């Protein structure tokens, strides 16, 4: 293709795959508390002798108050609620079968292609960006590319909570520079295998989901809902406060895959305190680049980790509480879906926007990483 520079770039279609199963706080807490009873009985002597600590109960009320989460969707439900197991079950698939992560990525991608009025032949690149990929290679993006019949190239990228926004940044740059006509950015957030369902501090936080977007030149876009990407902004700052250590070195390190520091773990209070001011300052300076104040933004599709974080960030930006219409919340149903949270919010809350309305997509979390896009409805 010819190398055209400085294209007007739009998000022209958005897709969402929601798992067929969900788990309410009450169901999750009931399974966890039964597991804790069993654990405490098994270790009664050691607990009484003071050499082990008893597992405390979890509470549905605490979860909703501390996080805003009421339930979460999940790819595979049974193992999580089985107190003899306490982790999901994903039967291994043969090399010639589609992987679970590619399967959910394809479902979201098909919805995004349909929303954008695009065929496989219109797409030049596939980016799969998410918190974890289920294998190192071949890239999940290339598996998706093959399954959808897309020519061109694909690659995976991992930036935890900011994978989706950072993926959109790369797509924007590729289309802007003319190295791809249209890019499919997919976020198959299959996070349940990395959750420690025996840790009451974190067992409630996450859910599975997949989201996708088509990014293309304005001149080729024909869909009903198009959002011009006005600019992107990203920042990272190293922090150990959110970590997951299981990886390709684990076998050589002789580690126990069930050890608490191998799965997702965090210092949630520090994350809250450190990330909220970073995110608010980032967003304020990003919209200011366009000569805009926060009050002139019609919609904030914020990262969906914790309702109290979103309320605080919106208040720092606006000087008042944001309405649900200005900063929609989806984490009550979906929980924290790693990088996909703000993408789900966009997916469910963009069709009412009017031409000229400004919106901001934003992620914040592990890394630390913050990513944003300022967009304008066409």
Footprint on this chain of ligand CO8 (rule: CB under 6 A):
58-59, 62-63, 66-67, 131, 160-161, 191, 194-195, 200-201, 204, 206, 242, 264, 266, 268-269, 271-272, 305-306, 309, 336, 338, 365-366
Minimum distance between the CB of residue 337 and ligand CO8, rounded to whole angstroms? 8
Minimum distance between the CB of residue 190 and ligand CO8, rounded to whole angstroms? 9
Q: Which residues contact 87 (CB under 8 A, 6 or more apart)?
A: 79, 80, 192, 193, 195, 197
Cis peptide preceding 138, ω within 30 of 0 = yes
Please confirm, yes or no, whether 362 is among the known catalytic residues: no
Nearer to ligand CO8, 125 or 331 (CB): 331
Minimum distance between the CB of residue 248 and ligand CO8, rounded to whole angstroms? 17
Q: Which residues contact 127 (CB under 8 A, 6 or more apart)?
A: 141, 154, 155, 156, 157, 167, 170, 171, 183, 184, 185, 186
Asked if 206 and 338 count as a contact pair (C-beta separation under 8 A), the reply is yes
Nearer to ligand CO8, 174 or 280 (CB): 280
Nearer to ligand CO8, 10 or 276 (CB): 276
Minimum distance between the CB of residue 330 and ligand CO8, rounded to whole angstroms? 15
Minimum distance between the CB of residue 361 and ligand CO8, rounded to whole angstroms? 16
Nearer to ligand CO8, 281 or 307 (CB): 307
Nearer to ligand CO8, 67 or 101 (CB): 67
Asked if 281 and 364 count as a contact pair (C-beta separation under 8 A), the reply is no
Which residue among 130, 161, 276, 362 is the active-site one?
161
Where in the sequence numbering do the catalytic residues fall? 161
């Amino acid at each position: 293709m010819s190398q055209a520079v400085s294209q007007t770039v739009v998000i022209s279609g958005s897709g969402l795959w929601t798992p067929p199963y969900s788990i309410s706080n009450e169901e999750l807490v009931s399974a966890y508390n039964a597991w804790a009873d069993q654990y405490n009985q098994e270790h009664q002597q050691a607990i009484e002798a003071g050499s082990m600590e008893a597992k405390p109960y979890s509470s549905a009320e605490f979860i909703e108050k501390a996080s805003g989460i009421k339930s979460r969707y999940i790819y595979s439900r049974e193992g999580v609620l089985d107190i003899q197991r306490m982790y999901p079950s994903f039967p291994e698939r043969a090399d010639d079968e589609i992987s679970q992560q590619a399967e959910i990525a394809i479902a979201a991608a098909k919805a995004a292609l349909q929303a954008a009025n695009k065929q496989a032949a219109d797409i030049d690149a596939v980016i799969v960006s998410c918190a974890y990929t289920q294998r190192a290679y071949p890239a999940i993006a290339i598996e998706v590319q093959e399954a959808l019949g897309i020519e061109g190239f694909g690659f995976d990228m991992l930036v935890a909570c900011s994978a989706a926004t950072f993926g959109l940044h790369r797509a924007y740059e590729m289309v802007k520079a003319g190295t791809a006509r249209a890019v499919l950015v997919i976020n198959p957030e299959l996070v349940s295998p990395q959750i420690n369902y025996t840790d009451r501090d974190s067992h409630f936080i996450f859910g599975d989901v997949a989201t996708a977007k088509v990014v293309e030149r304005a001149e080729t876009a024909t869909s009903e809902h198009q959002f011009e990407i006005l600019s992107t902004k990203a920042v990272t700052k190293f922090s150990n406060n959110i970590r997951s250590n299981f990886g390709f070195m684990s076998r050589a390190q002789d580690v126990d895959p069930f050890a608490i520091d191998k799965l997702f773990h965090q210092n949630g209070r520090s994350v809250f305190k450190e990330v909220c001011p970073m995110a608010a300052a980032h967003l304020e300076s990003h919209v200011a680049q366009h000569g805009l104040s926060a009050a002139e933004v019609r919609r904030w599709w914020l990262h969906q980790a914790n309702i109290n974080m979103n309320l605080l960030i919106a208040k720092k930006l606006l000087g008042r509480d944001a309405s649900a219409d200005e900063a929609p919340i989806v984490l009550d149903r979906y929980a924290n879906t790693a990088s996909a949270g703000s993408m789900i919010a966009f997916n469910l809350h963009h069709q009412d926007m009017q031409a000229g309305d400004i919106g901001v997509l934003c992620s914040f979390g592990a890394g630390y990483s913050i990513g944003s896009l300022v967009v304008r409805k066409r």
